[in-house]
């Protein structure tokens, strides 16, 4: 199984066609996307999850985190139809703590099932203390980590408190499974860490490879993990 995680920055840099063109040759089974717009004025009211799904012949689901410019902003999941029996992808969204205080944005956890696995996608906020609270909420939402994959932009590396809390719940970093060379995935204006992660439950098969794909279609590279 090939898994992709990518913060697409609502296709602001080169448009949605460039996002699809970067993803297509990867032929991924699961694609988790962050900073996705649906019906937002700044991105021409595009339904980005649907358009990407149609362009890549993948089932699509969306988890709105906040309302923005007449539409929604959040995370999306694209899945090969064979992993869900050719049916529409069913997702639910769980609101995470935050969004009320200055400097905070509303964030959510996308929840789905595909290929016999429980798939979660998220994008944690910037304030340090808030990320820890969001991590606690994710741990509570996941419950047992069996057959679980958590994918997202965590806005911090694996040695920092929020991610450590999730790892302590019985998850592991797919990048470390295959002893891949450490890489930075944060934008240039953020601390230079690998913040785009694929975390696996203890019984999920070991990752056999992990890499990043550089692209100018977003301010994050694409993370690719093979199970």
Angle 48-56/16-23 helices, nearest 10 degrees?
40
What percentage of the chain has pLDDT greater than the value 70?
A: 100
Q: How far is CA 13 from CA 16, 22, 128, in A?
A: 9, 13, 27
As a whole number, mean pLDDT of residues 130-153 equals 98
Express each pLDDT in 117-132 by its tens digit. Answer: 999 999 999 999 999 9
**Strand 171-173 to strand 30-38: parallel, antiparallel, or no bridges (unpaired)?**
unpaired
**CA neighbours closer than 13 Å in the CB half-sphere of residue 130:** 20
User: Residue 15's pLDDT band (boundaries 50, 70, 90)?
Assistant: very high
Q: Give the separation between CA 84 and CA 116, rounded to whole angstroms.
A: 9
Six-digit token pair at 11? 């296709």
Q: Which residues contact 109 (CB under 8 A, 6 or more apart)?
A: 63, 93, 94, 96, 120, 121, 122, 137, 138, 141
List the beta bridge partners of residue 172: 200
Express each pLDDT in 145-204 by its tens digit. Answer: 999 999 999 999 999 999 999 999 999 999 999 988 889 999 888 879 999 999 999 899
Task: Find the domain containing 203 and state its range.
Answer: 2-226
Express each pLDDT in 20-36 by its tens digit. Answer: 999 999 999 999 999 99
Q: Which residues contact 145 (CB under 8 A, 6 or more apart)?
A: 169, 170, 171, 201, 202
Looking at residue 34, what is its pLDDT? 98
The domain total for the chain is 1
Buried b (16+ CB within 10 A) or exposed e, 63-77: bbbeebeebbbbbbb
- 184 burial class (0-12, 13-18, 19+ CB within 10 angstroms)? middle
pTM value?
0.97
Among 127, 153, 122, CA closest to 139 = 122
Supply the CATH number for residue 200's domain: 3.60.10.10
As a whole number, mean pLDDT of residues 60-83 equals 97
- 13 burial class (0-12, 13-18, 19+ CB within 10 angstroms)? middle
DSSP conformation letters of 90-132: PEEEEEPS-SSSTT----EEEEEEETTEEEEEEE--SSHHHHH
Looking at residue 11, what is its pLDDT? 97
């Amino acid at each position: 199984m090939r898994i992709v995680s990518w913060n697409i920055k609502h296709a602001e840099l080169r448009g949605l066609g460039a996002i699809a063109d970067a993803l297509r040759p990867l032929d991924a089974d699961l694609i988790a996307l962050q900073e996705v717009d649906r019906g937002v004025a700044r991105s021409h009211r595009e339904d980005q999850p649907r358009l990407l799904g149609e362009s890549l012949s993948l089932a699509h689901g969306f988890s709105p985190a906040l309302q923005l410019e007449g539409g929604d902003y959040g995370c999306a999941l694209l899945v090969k139809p064979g992993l869900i029996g050719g049916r529409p992808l069913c997702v639910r969204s769980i609101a995470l703590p935050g969004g009320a205080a200055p400097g905070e944005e509303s964030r959510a956890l996308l929840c789905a099932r595909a290929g016999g696995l429980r798939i979660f996608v998220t994008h944690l906020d910037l304030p340090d203390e808030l990320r820890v609270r969001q991590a606690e909420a994710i741990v509570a939402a996941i419950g047992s980590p069996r057959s679980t994959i958590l994918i997202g932009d965590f806005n911090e590396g694996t040695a920092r408190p929020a991610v450590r809390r999730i790892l302590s719940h019985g998850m592991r970093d797919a990048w470390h499974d295959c002893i891949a060379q450490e890489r930075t995935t944060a934008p240039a204006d953020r601390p230079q860490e690998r913040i785009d992660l694929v975390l696996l439950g203890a019984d999920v098969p070991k990752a056999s490879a992990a890499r990043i794909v550089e692209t100018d279609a977003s301010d994050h590279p694409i993370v690719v993990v093979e199970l």
